[in-house]
C-alpha cells in the first residue's frame, strides 16, 4: 500500500482479536556499534476483559535514503500472550541488517 500508494484488501498484521491492547513507553536504545544492535523496548497492556495474543511488529524505514526500498520493512516481531489487565515489557533486538543495504554496483554493504 505505501510504496505504490494503492489500497490493500488486508493490511500486514490484519487479524481479529477478542480483546484490546495498549502500547506505551516506547524507547529506542542507542545503536551499539560493537555488537551492531539496537533495542526497541515498550510496554503492552491488555485493557480488555479476555486473555489475548498479540503479534507486535517493528518496521524500519529510511525516507531520506538514496536507494529504492520499500517505505516500510518488517525487521522484528514477537508474539505475546497477555491476561486481562496484565502489562508486559517487550524488547525486540534489531541487528545491523535492519539498517544496511547491499549495493549491487559496489558489491558491498
Least confident of 40-44, 69-73, 84-88: 69-73
Q: Which residue has the higher pLDDT, 85 or 8?
A: 85
Which pLDDT value is given to residue 24? 97
pLDDT at 11 over 70: no
The pTM of this model reads 0.73
Residue 95 has pLDDT above 80, yes or no: yes
Higher-confidence residue of 109 and 42: namely 42
Share the mean pLDDT of the chain.
84
Q: How far apart, in whole angstroms, are the C-alpha atoms of residue 60 and residue 95?
A: 12
Q: 20-29: list long-range contacts, CB under 8 Å, 24+ apart.
A: 20/46, 20/47, 20/48, 21/45, 21/46, 21/47, 21/48, 21/52, 21/54, 21/82, 22/47, 23/56
Query: Where residue 109 falls among pLDDT bands split at 50, 70, 90?
Result: low
Q: Decide if pLDDT at 54 tops 80.
A: yes
Q: What is the pLDDT of residue 10?
A: 66
Which residues contact residue 84 at a Cβ distance below 8 angstroms, ignoring those fewer than 6 apart? 19, 46, 48, 49, 50, 51
Which CATH number is associated with domain 21-96? 2.60.40.10
Amino acid at each position: 500500500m505505501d510504496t505504490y500508494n494503492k489500497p490493500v484488501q488486508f493490511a500486514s498484521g490484519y487479524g481479529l482479536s477478542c480483546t484490546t491492547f495498549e502500547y506505551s513507553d516506547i524507547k529506542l536504545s542507542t545503536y551499539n556499534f560493537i555488537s551492531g544492535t539496537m533495542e526497541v523496548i515498550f510496554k503492552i497492556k491488555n485493557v480488555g476483559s479476555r486473555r489475548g495474543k498479540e503479534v507486535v511488529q517493528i518496521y524500519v524505514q529510511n525516507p531520506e535514503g538514496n536507494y529504492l526500498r520499500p517505505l516500510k520493512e518488517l525487521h522484528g516481531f514477537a508474539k505475546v500472550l497477555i491476561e486481562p489487565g496484565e502489562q508486559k515489557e517487550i524488547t525486540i533486538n534489531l541487528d545491523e541488517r535492519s539498517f544496511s543495504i547491499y549495493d549491487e554496483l559496489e558489491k558491498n554493504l
